[in-house]
Amino acid sequence: QQPVQSPQAVILREGEDAVINCSSSKALYSVHWYRQKHGEAPVFLMILLKGGEQKGHEKISASFNEKKQQSSLYLTASQLSYSGTYFCGTVAGGTSYGKLTFGQGTILTVHP
Partner 1 sequence: NAGVTQTPKFQVLKTGQSMTLQCAQDMNHNSMYWYRQDPGMGLRLIYYSASEGTTDKGEVPNGYNVSRLNKREFSLRLESAAPSQTSVYFCASSEAAGISANEQFFGPGTRLTVL
Question: What is each CA distance from 61 to 3, 40, 54, in whole angstroms?
Answer: 19, 23, 9
Site for partner 1 contains 112 (CB under 8 A): no
CA–CA separation, 84 vs 79, rounded Å? 11
Provide the β-strand partners of residue 56: 46
Site for partner 1 contains 44 (CB under 8 A): yes
Q: Residue from 6, 47, 61, 83 that binds partner 1 (CB under 8 A)? A: 47
Among 13-21, 58-66, 67-75, 93-101, the segment contacting partner 1 (CB under 8 A): 93-101
Q: Residue from 25, 37, 74, 99 that binds partner 1 (CB under 8 A)? A: 99
Site for partner 1 contains 101 (CB under 8 A): yes
Nearer to partner 1, 84 or 89 (CB): 89
Nearest approach, Cβ of residue 5 and partner 1 (Å): 8
Site for partner 1 contains 20 (CB under 8 A): no
Contact 80, 14 (CB under 8 A): yes
Site for partner 1 contains 9 (CB under 8 A): no
CA–CA separation, 111 vs 87, rounded Å? 20
Residues 6+ apart with CB under 8 A from 38: 84, 85
Contact 32, 88 (CB under 8 A): yes
Instruction: Enumerate residues 62-81 that contact partner 1 by CB under 8 A.
Output: none
